[in-house]
Every structure is written in structure tokens, then in C-alpha cells.
Chain A
Amino acid sequence: MSPPASETPPSEPRKTQFAAAVRVTGLRKRFGYRDALAGIDLEIPARGCFTLLGPNGAGKSTLLRIIGLSMRPTAGRVEVLGREASRDGAVRNGEALRSQIGLVFHESFLRGELTLEENLRYYAELHGLDRSDSQRRAGDLMDRLGLFKRARDPVRTFSTGMMKRASIIRSLLHRPRLWVLDEPFSGLDQEGAGLLEAIIGEEKTAGRAVVLVTHDAELGLRLGDDAAFIAAGSLRARGKAVVKEFMASAGGSGAS
């Protein structure tokens, strides 16, 4: 069995063949008569943490779902890890691309009836990971995130915070090149949030790309090497300093 494309050890920075992890041009997403994204142009660097801020309903999660290849745009061009993903069929046939993306969304993607260990084995098999390597990796991650003792419990018995931790483990199992996080801190206790911050830091050091959506602007700007602010489906500010300035002038939320 050939090793998956994302098998480089975490400590070893990967050489990047592309300048941007994500590049979107004229991106639109329409739900019925409402534009969730109204023509966004954005480039997310190939390394480091990129924070996406904005009020509720700004279109952050929609943008993340398109970047994470779980949703098709209505119009516009999307390039993820150097591959165009917006053309019809590219998402469907983009198995190689999907193997390099890790997703933490509001849903855990975990099967409630299965234990955490079984869920991780299930996703490891879908990613075509080597069995012993993925078991070791899963064990390390469960240990790190404090779920090792609950490995054999069905995940339906987990609390919200534990489910979030489990979801983080699942998303990192295949060592993704691009890690997409939608409100990953929600539901986590202080210890869990600290662990997640540390892991984000390690991913940055390893030369991977992290895209983070959070409502906590202070935390987001602290963790992010770069940032953008979107509201009503449009890009309002780009760059950490500009975002800070924009939010200060708009009274914090920048919803207007």
C-alpha cells in the first residue's frame, strides 16, 4: 500500500509548490434568493494561520465549506492547494485533494454508535492510511487531547466538549496540508482550548496552512498570522492591522 500524500511527519516542514493554500476569485454562493457570498476575492497563504472574522450570517461558514470542498459555489473560481476545485466534477473527482484537507465543522462527522477508536479506524480506512501508522497516530492524538481513556466508549456518550476534541483528532489523523476550522473553540473548556491553541501553533511551525473561523476576535487575531473580515457575504477588510482598524472603527462587530 502506497503511503498517502500527507504522510510527512509533523515536525518536518513540507516544501510548498504553490504560493497560496486557497485562492478564490469572484466567489458567489446563492441560497434561494439570498447571496450568502456576494463575490469574494481572497488569497490565503500556503503557510501559517489565517483567521476569518465576521458577524453571524456573514458567510464565513459557507466560505469554509466551499474551501473544504463540501459545497459547490454558485459562481467564481476556487483554487485549493494549487488545484482548481470550482469546475463541475473537480470536487467529486478530487480524491487526492480531499486527502490533504482536514475539517472541523460544527458537526463532528462521527458515528454515534461506534466507539471513538472505531470512528478513527473508519476514517483512516477511508483515507487509505496504513493501519499500524494510523493506530499510532490516533493513540498519540487521543492521548494528547485527553480522550485515550474514552477510546472504547461510543461517541454518542460524549459531552459537547469531548465531541469537539474527538472531531479535532479525526481531522488531524491523515496529517492534512490544509486544516479548516469552523468555530473550533466553541464547547471546549479552558484546558481543551489551550491544547487546541498549542496544536494550531505546531501546525504553523510545521509549515501547514490553518484557516480559522472564530467569533472571538481577540483570540483569532492573536493566533492568526494573517486575517480577513467579511460581512454580508463581502470582504470588508484584509490584513491583520487593517482588520483591527476596521473593527475598532465599526465598534467591534463590524456588522454594518
Chain B
Amino acid sequence: MRQIRALISLVRWDCILELRRLDAVLNMSLFAVFMLWLASFAVSSDKEAQARIGPLIFWIAILFAGTVGLSRAFLVEQAGGVLTGVLTAPVDHGVFYLAKVAATWLYMMVMELFLLGAYVVLFNFTHWERVPFLLGTMAGFTLGYAAVGIVIAGMTAVIRGGEVVLRVLLFPVLVPMVIAILEASESVFPGISLTETQRLSRPLVILIALDTIYLTVGYVLFPKVVEE
């Protein structure tokens, strides 16, 4: 019970700090929306190309913008030895990991909502009935992304050129998730009937399974990563 209270407390204080600085959310959102905006010029006159390439650009924007947030995930804790302060407090280090994943998930979801808004405008997205499926896919993908990303961000936070190493290590691990979201995109974005629930649910089931695996491995690995 005490660890659950500590988890809530860690997430709450992380959010309070983020609200004051708007560091991760603002940087990620600007990066993602500008990327989408620039890409939209390439296909602005071709409706078919918009429908075909749009989803790909949407997910790539999330992939890269997410690393902007991840590279800042431990910035606050590094200053003033806060990380040591948290690790020497009576909080399970796995709980600290879960708190970081939860906060990162929240920030990324806010960024993705901005991105979705931009996508609707720039790529003429009109399949409103599919938005719930799209949000489910985004939430599932983001959870796995944060689960892997926080472990790697913890590893690379203290090394020189950590941001580059973060991407080099992160993207290969995310390949199964990327395949799942691209499969989901085929169902969510273009003109496939919603009655084909099997096609829609399969990628979501894969995402949930991958989230579970990544979170479990992260929970075990993260304390070993940050303890030294």
C-alpha cells in the first residue's frame, strides 16, 4: 500500500514539474507537429498519397518525438543528485520505474493528441468512427514505447552522446511494436470496414502482449541499471 502511495506521489510531482516547465510535452509536440506539417507539403496535392503515406508519417513523428521526451526523462533527477535522493528513499526502485513510465506515457499521449489534431487538418482525416481504435492503438503503443524507453533512457542519461545512443538502442527493440502498429494502421486509417473486427483487434492484442513483456522486463532490469 505504501509503495502504491509512493507511485502516485512520484507521478504527481513529475506532472507538477512538467506543468510548470512544459519541457517534455512542448518539445515533443512541436517536433512532431512540425515533422507532420513539413511532410504534408510533399503529398498536399495527391489525395491517394495522403491516405497511403500519411499514417506512416504519423507513426514516424511519434517515434522520433518520443525520443525528445525520453532524453529529458531524467534531466530533472540528474541535477542536484535528485536521482540518488529518490534511490536512497524507502521506495522500491521498480516502483520508481513504473512512475517514470506512467509520467512518460501521459506526456506522450498529450503530444499524440496534438499530433492527431494536426493530422486531421493536414491529411483530411474524416474517419471519425475509427478514432476510438486509433486512440487504443496509440495508448498501447505508447505504453510499450515508454516501458522500453525509460530503461534505455536510464542507461544513457549519464553518458556522453546519450541521445544518439538512446535512439540506436531503442528503435531495434521497438521493431515488433512498429510492425503491430503498421498492421493496425491498415485497419484504422484507410477504407476498411469496421465490421472486420478480427483485423482490428489482432494488432491490439499483439500490442497488449508486447506491453506486458516490456513492462515486466523493464521492472526487473531498471533497478539494476540505475543502482550503480
- Residues of chain A at the chain B interface (Cβ within 8 Å): 68-72, 91-93, 95-96, 98-99, 101, 103, 105-114, 118, 122-123, 125-128, 170
Nearest residue in A to B223 (C-beta to C-beta)?
A92
| B92 is an interface residue with CB less than 8 A from chain A | yes
**Shortest distance in angstroms between A202's beta carbon and chain B's nearest beta carbon?**
23
Known: A109-B81, A111-B82. A126 touches B76 (CB 8 A): no
| B168 is an interface residue with CB less than 8 A from chain A | no
Report which of B3, B9, B85, B227 forms a contact with A91, defined as CB distance below 8 A. B227
Residues B88 and A69 in contact, CB atoms below 8 Å apart = yes
Q: Collect the chain B residues with CB atoms within 8 Å of residue A95's CB.
A: 3, 90-92
**Shortest distance in angstroms between B76's beta carbon and chain A's nearest beta carbon?**
6
B residues 64-108 in Cβ contact with A at 8 Å: 76, 79-82, 84-93
Residues B80 and A71 in contact, CB atoms below 8 Å apart = no
Residues A96 and B90 in contact, CB atoms below 8 Å apart = yes
Known: A113-B20, A114-B17. A98 touches B90 (CB 8 A): yes
Q: Could you jot down 17 A-B contacts, CB within 8 Å?
A: A68-B88, A70-B84, A70-B87, A92-B227, A95-B90, A95-B91, A95-B92, A103-B88, A107-B81, A108-B80, A111-B17, A111-B76, A111-B82, A122-B9, A123-B89, A125-B6, A127-B90
How many chain B residues touch the partner (CB < 8 A)?
Answer: 29
Nearest residue in A to B12 (C-beta to C-beta)?
A125
Residues A101 and B2 in contact, CB atoms below 8 Å apart = no
- In whole angstroms, what is the CA distance A34 to B84 when docked? 23
| B48 is an interface residue with CB less than 8 A from chain A | no
Residues B88 and A101 in contact, CB atoms below 8 Å apart = yes
- In whole angstroms, what is the CA distance A153 to B92 when docked? 30
| Residue among A93, A112, A126, A170 with the highest chain B CB neighbour number at 10 A | A126
- In whole angstroms, what is the CA distance A95 to B86 when docked? 11
Nearest residue in B to A105 (C-beta to C-beta)?
B81
Q: Collect the chain A residues with CB atoms within 8 Å of residue B228's CB.
A: 71-72
- In whole angstroms, what is the CA distance A108 to B92 when docked? 21
- In whole angstroms, what is the CA distance A222 to B197 when docked? 78
- In whole angstroms, what is the CA distance A164 to B85 when docked? 14
Nearest residue in A to B81 (C-beta to C-beta)?
A107
- In whole angstroms, what is the CA distance A178 to B106 when docked? 38
Nearest residue in A to B92 (C-beta to C-beta)?
A95
Residues B81 and A108 in contact, CB atoms below 8 Å apart = yes
Q: Collect the chain A residues with CB atoms within 8 Å of residue B88's CB.
A: 68-70, 98, 101, 103
Q: Collect the chain B residues with CB atoms within 8 Å of residue A68's CB.
A: 88
- In whole angstroms, what is the CA distance A51 to B105 when docked? 46
Q: Collect the chain A residues with CB atoms within 8 Å of residue B160's CB.
A: none
- In whole angstroms, what is the CA distance A98 to B84 when docked? 12
- In whole angstroms, what is the CA distance A62 to B84 when docked? 14
Residues B90 and A99 in contact, CB atoms below 8 Å apart = yes
Q: Collect the chain A residues with CB atoms within 8 Å of residue B6's CB.
A: 125-126, 128
- In whole angstroms, what is the CA distance A93 to B20 when docked? 33
**Shortest distance in angstroms between B22's beta carbon and chain A's nearest beta carbon?**
12
Nearest residue in B to A100 (C-beta to C-beta)?
B90
**Shortest distance in angstroms between B133's beta carbon and chain A's nearest beta carbon?**
38
